[in-house]
């Protein structure tokens, strides 16, 4: 599995991602051997700054030497504990959001159960509203996770779901939620993406709706058919420089299908790497399960088996 700076990189199994790049090379057995040989070879010669003659005895001021040694060790200990403090706080915050994600999903679905009590009317419009509330919370949670993971405060997220477009008589992907980091006016000019174009087509047809995509260059990706430049891309060109994309795969009425798309975006370049793939894939799977179960709940309690049996869930949103 290589990591070349292509317009789009596709990752499914990232267990060996530690082997990638220069650092990955030197942490492998081959790299360790090479670095050992290089260090041995270089240390056998005399560096340019080494004195031509070395005195057998030198006078050392013990007080100064002790002071410098203690100060150096103190600085190293301080930096080590400061680094440990930052890592510990970050780890605890990430764990908090990891727990909060399924917690929020559970709470929303519990509320949905209450709203679907016998005798209460429910409609597609209300289901769409419930999904928007749920996915808005999911987006904010995932954005917080990746801001902590990457140290990039410009991280934003968005989610598209598969819906049925009466005008085109086909399934399209419509944006249901996005975080505050993206312009609020995007909603007015947001475009639905057909299953035959852009990311939706690329994921479904070429990547079999598996793994995670890392987009390094949107314009180049569009040239090879892996992305569709939308009106929002033209109006807000600096909002998304790079992004990660994961399919939302779940039961879709007839069979397992890509019921949505999860985006994690950044205003900066070179933010995402293979070490972030599993984190996004886990969030995508949990989100897909929650959406599918919510739609199934509404179908069983309100829409009825007769009108929706065997139909794609996208027609019920």
Per-residue pLDDT of the chain (317 residues; tens, 9 = 90+): 444 578 999 999 888 777 777 777 778 888 888 888 887 777 666 666 677 777 777 788 889 999 999 999 999 999 999 999 999 999 999 999 999 999 999 999 888 888 877 766 767 677 788 889 999 999 999 999 999 999 999 999 999 999 988 888 899 999 999 999 899 899 999 999 999 999 999 999 999 899 999 999 999 999 999 999 999 999 999 999 999 999 999 987 777 899 999 999 999 999 999 999 999 999 999 999 999 988 888 777 765 544 444 456 677 67
Helices marked H in the chain — which ranges? Answer: 21-27, 29-44, 62-115, 124-150, 186-189, 198-201, 218-223, 231-235, 277-298, 305-308
Contacts (Cβ under 8 Å, ≥6 apart) of 58? none
With respect to CATH, is domain 88-316 assigned 3.40.1190.20?
no
Per DSSP, 40 falls in state H
Confirm whether pTM is higher than 0.75.
Answer: yes
Residue keyed to tokens 């510990």 = 88
Nearest to 100 by CA among 156, 144, 151, 54: 144
């Amino acid at each position: 599995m290589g990591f070349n700076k292509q317009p789009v990189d596709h990752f499914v199994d990232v267990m060996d991602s530690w082997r990638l790049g220069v650092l990955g090379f030197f942490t492998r057995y081959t790299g360790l051997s090479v670095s050992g040989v290089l260090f041995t070879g270089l240390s056998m010669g005399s560096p340019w700054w080494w004195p031509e003659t070395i005195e057998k005895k030198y006078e050392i001021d013990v007080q100064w030497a002790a002071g410098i040694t203690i100060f150096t060790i103190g600085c190293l200990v301080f930096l080590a504990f400061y680094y440990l403090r930052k890592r510990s706080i970050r780890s605890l915050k990430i764990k908090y959001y990891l727990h909060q994600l399924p917690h929020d999903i559970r709470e929303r679905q519990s509320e949905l159960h209450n709203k679907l009590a016998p005798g209460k009317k429910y409609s597609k419009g209300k289901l769409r509203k419930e999904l928007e509330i749920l996915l808005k919370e999911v987006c904010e949670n995932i954005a917080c996770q990746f801001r902590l993971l990457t140290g990039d405060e410009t991280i934003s997220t968005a989610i598209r779901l598969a819906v049925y477009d009466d005008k085109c008589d086909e399934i399209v992907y419509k944006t249901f939620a996005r975080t505050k980091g993206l312009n609020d006016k995007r909603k007015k000019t947001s475009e639905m993406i057909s299953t035959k174009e852009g990311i939706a087509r690329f994921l479904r047809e070429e990547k079999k709706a598996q793994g995670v995509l890392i987009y390094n260059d949107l314009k180049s990706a569009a040239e090879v058919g892996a992305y569709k430049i939308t009106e929002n891309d033209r109006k807000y060109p600096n909002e998304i420089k790079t992004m990660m994309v994961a399919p939302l795969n779940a039961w879709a009425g007839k069979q397992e299908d890509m019921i949505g798309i999860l985006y994690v975006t950044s205003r900066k370049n070179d933010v995402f790497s293979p070490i972030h793939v599993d984190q996004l894939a886990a969030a995508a799977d949990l989100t897909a399960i929650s959406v599918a179960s919510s739609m199934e709940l509404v179908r069983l309690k309100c829409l009825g088996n007769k009108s929706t049996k065997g139909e794609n869930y996208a027609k019920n949103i």
